[in-house]
Amino acid sequence: MSTQEIANAFFGLCAEGKFEEAGRAYWSSDIVSIEAVDGPMAKVTGREAVEAKGAWWYASHEIHSIKVEGPYVNGNQFTVRFTMDVTPKDGQRLTMDEHGLYTVSDGKIVEERFFYGSHLAA
């Protein structure tokens, strides 16, 4: 599959709300997941640990809606925009606006890197 085909398939599952299925289908066993935070979630390596991070996130947030836009492709990478209306279990309802940057190798996603939006006026 080309990067465009993987991007389309991964995005299609996300667009149906099937985020965990998307990861299971397209993450490499050596997937590296990088967040723009300090601490233990900053860089998580390996499918098992990344799935556990996802499980933690879903358990820690009430999800009202997630909008996905894309995918955007260049070479062996693609991006997806996520706009998430969520309430952290210990916090206030908020909108999270992120770009995910995915790197593909041998038909699998080997790295995902998340960029957090600043919501500047434009």
**Contacting residues toward its own copies, per CB under 8 A:** 4, 7-8, 11-12, 15, 34-36, 67-75, 77-79, 81, 97-99, 101, 113-118, 120-122
The rounded Cα 24 to chain-centroid distance in angstroms is 12
Q: What is the closest distance, in whole angstroms, from the C-beta atom of residue 57 to its own copies in the complex?
A: 17
Q: What is the closest distance, in whole angstroms, from the C-beta atom of residue 56 to its own copies in the complex?
A: 19
Which of 68/86 has CB closer to its own copies?
68
Angle at 64 between CA 59 and CA 65, to 5 degrees: 110
Q: What is the closest distance, in whole angstroms, from the C-beta atom of residue 33 to its own copies in the complex?
A: 12
- 118: helix, coil or strand? coil
**Cβ within 8 Å of residue 37, ≥6 positions away:** none
